[in-house]
Structure 1
C-alpha cells in the first residue's frame, strides 16, 4: 500500500482556502517543486540548534530555481531574521513549534521578514498546514515578532498561534521601507487570517499596521493586548509622510481580557478607507478604540496636521461583554463611569503610562475628530456606560500625565 507522508497530505488536500476577493491572489503560487526542511536539508527537529543559515539557504535555493514550497515538518525549530524571497511559500506542520533565536542581537528579533528597502518581493506565503503551528516567545527586553512585512506584493500569512510573554511588538507588523531616503515600498495586496495570541502586552497583539494597501485581516483573536491595530504612529513615518493605510478590511476580530479588539488611530497621517465587520470582546477595556488624530511633539517636521481616515470607513457588528480583568491605562480612566472608579486599583509604583488590570469601560470609545461610522453595537453587563462613549465623564479628577504631548501617545 502506498503511504503518503502526513505533511504532503496536508499540503495537497488540507490546504487552507485562500479568499478569492481581490487581496491575495493564489493563482501565482508555484508548488511544482516541494522541498522538506528535514528530509532535504537535514536540520534537527528538537529546537536545540540555531538553523537560521540552513533555512535561509533552502529559501534562497528555491527562489533561484523559480520558486516552490518549503515544508517544515513536526518538531521544534530555533531561528531568526529569515528573508523570504519571491515565489517561495513556507508550509509549516501544525505540530511544529518555532522559537526565536536572539543570540547577541541588540535590536528586535523577527522570525520571517518580507521585503527590504532595496528588495521588493512578490507572491509569497507563510502558513500552517493541517491547522495552526505554534510560536513560543519568552521574556525579552527587546521586541519579538513572527512576521515583519515591508516591501512585498501579493502575500498570504495564516494559521499560527503565538504563546507570548507580554513582549514588545505585535505578532505581525506592517511597515513602510526606505523611509529615511524618501520611501521605497510598503505591503500591498495580501491576506492575513486564522492567527491567535495569548498573554499579549497591553499595547500589542496579533497585528499592527503602520503602512499597508489592500489587505484583508480575518479571524484574528487575542488574550490580552490590542488584537488588530490600524495605527500609524511611527515617528519617522509621520515626519516623512510616507506610509499610511489604504483599503484595509477586518473580519471577525476578537479579544479577551485585553486592551481592545480593534484600535484605530491616525496620529498625523492622512489614511484611506478601513472597514471592520465583526468585533467581539470579553472583559476588555473596550471592544473598539477610535482615537483622534494629533501631532505629537516628537515629530520634527513643521506644518503637520492631525491625521485622518477617509470617509466610508466603518466598524460594525460589535459585541462587547463586561469583565473585571481588562488591561487599562490611566489615560482612559476619564471615560470610565464614576460608579466603577472605586473598583480601580492602580499600583502605587505605576507611572501614568503603565498598564494595570481593572473593569471594562465601554463597548466603544470614539474620540475621533474625523468620521468613522460605528454601527450595530451589542453590549452585555455594562450597567453605567453608554454603548459608544465619545467624551470624558463629567466629575473626574484630572490626573497628572508624564508624557509631553497634549494627546495620547502610541501604546508602545
Structure 2
C-alpha cells in the first residue's frame, strides 16, 4: 500500500490534461520535501479527535521550508479551517475521509482555506491521490465547505467526492478578499477538476464562483443543487464593484435531479467572458439557467446597473433529459408549460423561496439582457417546452402553484 501511494506521489504533478496546464502551472511545484500526516506527525486515522492544530503546523512548516507536499493517507480525519500557504501542496489518499470539525465555531466551517487574507498566496494545490477522496458532511445550519478560495494565484483543486446533507454552501467557493476596503485580491490562474457532490441543497452544489480570473472548471457532477454556479451575488462585492468572473472555461458539467447543471447570473457586476462546453442534465429543472442582470434592493451603492457577461460568452453542446424529480422554486413556475402545471404535484401554499420537487421545465432557460450564445441543444422527453425558453409563458407571469393532487 505504501509503495502504491509513493508511486502516486511521483505522478503528483502529472494529473492534468493539456488544456488544464494552460491555467495552472504545475512546473513551479516544489516537491522536494514530503511529509506524512500520520508517520511524521503521529495523527490518528480513526477520526475521533480534532487534529486541526497538527495539520496547520504541518502546512506552516512546509511553507517555512520553501514549500513541499503534505500527504494524508487512508483513514478518517476531523479538522477545519486549514490555511494552505504558498508553495504547499496537500495530497489526500483516495481512501481518506475528511469530516469538518465545527466545535464552537459560529461561522461557516471549511476544510481548507486558500488566500483568505490580504496577502496573496501562490502555487498551491489540494487534490486526491489515486482517485477521489471523500468529504463527509452532516446537517449543519451555518454551512460547510471543502475549499474556500480567495486571494491566490496559480492553484489546483481536484479529485474529491462530497457526501453532502443539503448544507447551505457549495463545496468550493470563489470570492474576492478585502471588499470592505474596496478589494485586495481574487482567485487567478487555476484549474478545478474531477469533483462531485451528492445530496446537494437546491441553491448550492459543487462550485459557486463569484470572483475568479483565468480559471478552468472541468469534469464536475452533482446529484441535486446547481453543479456550477457562475453567480456574482455577494452583496458587499456588488457594492464594492470589485471581483466578478473573467475568462472562465467550463467543460463536462452534469447534474441529476437538481435545479441545473450550470447557472449564470451576474446580478450587478460587469463580468468578462465565460465559455461553457458540454453540459448534461437528467431530471433537473433545467440543464442551464442564464439569468438577467439586476440591481437588488440590498445593494447600498448608488448608480449600480444590471450586470452583464461580455460578448464572446457561450454555452455549447447541452444534453437534457426530462424527469419528475427536479428541484424547483416558485419563481420558475411562469416558465412551466400549462400541461405540466396541470399534472405537477406542487405543494399547496408553497413559499416563494421554498424549494420543492417537480417536473423538469426545459433544457435551457435564457432570460438574459446581455448576449450568451447557446448552441447545439439536445432535449429528450420534453413534450411541451421549447429547447431554449427565453420568456415566461404569456399571461402566466404571476402564476401560482397548483393544488397538490396528494395530501
Question: TM-score normalized by structure 1?
Answer: 0.95
SS at match of 2:228: strand
Q: Is the 8 A contact 2:143 2:167 kept in 1?
A: yes
Alignment CA distance shift 1:359-1:374 (3 Å):
same
Determine the C-alpha separation between the residues in 1 that align with 2:129 and 2:185: 30
Q: Which residue of 2 aligns with 1:406?
A: none
By how many angstroms is 1:5 displaced? 2.9
Determine the C-alpha separation between the residues in 2 that align with 1:116 and 1:142: 18
Q: Which residue of 2 aligns with 1:6?
A: 4
By how many angstroms is 1:350 displaced? 3.0
SS at match of 2:57: helix
Determine the C-alpha separation between the residues in 2 that align with 1:291 and 1:118: 32
Q: Which residue of 2 aligns with 1:26?
A: 26
Q: Is the 8 A contact 2:177 2:184 kept in 1?
A: yes
By how many angstroms is 1:154 displaced? 0.1
By how many angstroms is 1:348 displaced? 3.7
Q: Which residue of 2 aligns with 1:294?
A: 294
Describe how 1:191-206 pairs up with structure 2 within 5 A: 191-206=191-206
Determine the C-alpha separation between the residues in 1 that align with 2:105 and 2:2: 41
Q: Which residue of 2 aligns with 1:325?
A: 325
By how many angstroms is 1:346 displaced? 3.0
Determine the C-alpha separation between the residues in 1 that align with 2:158 and 2:41: 24
By how many angstroms is 1:391 displaced? 0.5
**CA RMSD between the two structures:** 1.4
Determine the C-alpha separation between the residues in 2 that align with 1:365 and 1:272: 21
Q: Which residue of 2 aligns with 1:181?
A: 181
Q: Deviations over 1:84-127 (max 9, x none)?
A: 01000000000000000000011100000000222210000000
Q: Is the 8 A contact 1:87 1:123 kept in 2?
A: yes
Question: TM-score normalized by structure 2?
Answer: 0.96
Describe how 1:239-250 pairs up with structure 2 within 5 A: 239-250=239-250
Q: Which residue of 2 aligns with 1:166?
A: 166
Runs of at least 5 residues in structure 2 that lack an aligned partner in the other structure: 402-407
Q: Which runs of 4+ in 1 moved over 3 A?
A: 13-16
By how many angstroms is 1:399 displaced? 4.4
SS at match of 1:5: helix
Deviates more, 1:357-366 or 1:6-15: 6-15
Q: Which residue of 1 aligns with 2:356?
A: 356
Q: How many residues align?
A: 399
Determine the C-alpha separation between the residues in 1 that align with 2:339 and 2:396: 11
Describe how 1:185-334 pairs up with structure 2 within 5 A: 185-334=185-334
Q: Which residue of 2 aligns with 1:410?
A: none
By how many angstroms is 1:8 displaced? 1.1
Determine the C-alpha separation between the residues in 1 that align with 2:242 and 2:202: 27
